[in-house]
Structure 1
């Protein structure tokens, strides 16, 4: 299976954000694609309307809300763009049914130790209430000793078996963002109070890894340009890394620079790249790679002339 192979699955729209097609979404703090509010964090002492209004004061995009109890649902229905069923509430079937009946998109976090079948069954409860707009969210388990342990294989299995979009709850730490995207996550969830720095790190992982692993079929010029921008971002990272590695080779070779070019190796490189990029083929790839290689050689010679490693 190629890196861009993917299962056709449903997409869920939350306000202006669509999860399941297009780029990987990041939901969390400042700068994210959507924000969310957990009323559980307030232990039910803050009305849903007030919690949403506090976020609306600084954010005009989609807002998701995790209820503390069924009493929060009328205000959530009137003010939010989606509902989060927290991991601890996943098996509160009465709450699940009440949430589904709101008609808003529903994010179902996997409860601690819940099996794949138990997790997917919650989506079926929502469907039974007439709401098929369900997104699954792998939340893993957290302890003060091990931190967060995510089951990305289970997340991938949930996506493949259900055909539904999937999120991964990263908590406050975006360190696993790249792994989550590589495993097939449609979105990344950070805690409501996550910093702008954490959001940026998650977005970078989503942009770079997603460009390599995720197929997109944009339907407009604007969307297509956005997809190209993400591919170009990944290209920039890879080109920078290639230049650094090429510089290492130049320092290790007995004859470096342009004089030490191995044209046979370069032809083999282009032929191998053409196998992965048959649409471009060797004829189009050859001048591209020649420019990349020469840029690296020029950089290595400039560094050597300036006494830089």
Structure 2
């Protein structure tokens, strides 16, 4: 059966949204704060990824300089502008008004598609409602972005909820003072840190929770790299917890190993990884446990 993600994939600035791993899109530019008093080309200056117009007059510049046009949360009821934006031929990112239902949000995306542009992506921003994000993704079959510019701490939760990508203001990003997110709304200055947090979220949480079906050797290696990054993070955390255990046990170190507990641990893991099975997992976990114990001993000698 063809998956929802395979049926609906949109390319934005070279990033495939809705296919394979979650992505990070740096920067959402809104022309609304200029209120039409500054030429759109002058306001943009250079190529941008996501751009929201103030009016139809901004659309030619967006067509020339943007990778996608944003139907901003503040003007989703301006149907003539929605139709004009969809008619550019660029991917369309449809934000949700805070009061809009899933049906209204998905319906507006369908309206853009009815204009002859099926490159439509949904975007949840502002005060993120991750339940609505998940429901819209399931109901529409379209990719869904989460704009975490206001609160980058929600990046991991958004990926866990099924977001196909994260929008962050990024270093020097220009945000939106009246829409669903962006540096202007959040007032955050550390855009580089926000991008790193988003990248960690799509790498680590995505590796654990997001199914992938790589079609090429390069894609397969990239997927393995994400899984390995998640493994390294979890192994480091396990080693730290093992060090705490050594301090709490009456008999620490290798002499304090509980072989019965280790066998039970491997059996539980084998239930989650039946293809590896207990014998292979036992060898892996023995190496992991020994590495943690060696590390605990080294730290104790310092």
Q: Normalising to structure 2: TM-score of the pair?
A: 0.88
Match of 2:121 in 1: 135
Match of 2:289 in 1: 293
> Is residue 2:282 matched to residue 1:252?
no
Instruction: Give the counterpart of 1:65 among 47, 51, 73.
Output: 51
Gaps of 5+ in 1: 1-5, 29-34, 57-61, 141-148
> Is residue 2:70 matched to residue 1:84?
yes
Equivalent runs, 1:140-289 vs 2, <5 Å:
140=126, 149-191=127-169, 192-193=173-174, 195-289=191-285
Aligned Cα RMSD in Å? 1.6
Tell me the distance in 1 between the aligned counterparts of 2:150 and 2:24.
13
The 8 Å contact of residues 172 and 198 in structure 1, kept in 2 or not, is answered as: no
**What SS does structure 1 have at the residue aligned with 2:148?**
strand
Question: For residues 220 and 105 of structure 1, do their structure 2 counterparts lie closer, same or farther at Cα, with a shift above 3 Å needed?
Answer: same
Match of 1:26 in 2: 24
The 8 Å contact of residues 52 and 63 in structure 1, kept in 2 or not, is answered as: no
What does the per-residue CA deviation read over 1:53-83, in whole Å, with 9 as the maximum and x for residues that have no partner?
A: 43x4xxxxx7221111111112212222211
Q: Normalising to structure 1: TM-score of the pair?
A: 0.86
Match of 2:98 in 1: 112
Match of 2:35 in 1: 43
| Larger displacement relative to structure 2 (155-164 or 173-182) | 173-182
Match of 1:14 in 2: 12
What does the per-residue CA deviation read over 1:254-283, in whole Å, with 9 as the maximum and x for residues that have no partner?
A: 111111111111111111111111221112
What does the per-residue CA deviation read over 1:282-308, in whole Å, with 9 as the maximum and x for residues that have no partner?
A: 1221111111000001111111122xx
The 8 Å contact of residues 21 and 206 in structure 2, kept in 1 or not, is answered as: yes
Tell me the distance in 2 between the aligned counterparts of 1:167 and 1:130.
22
The 8 Å contact of residues 28 and 167 in structure 2, kept in 1 or not, is answered as: no
Tell me the distance in 2 between the aligned counterparts of 1:181 and 1:46.
36
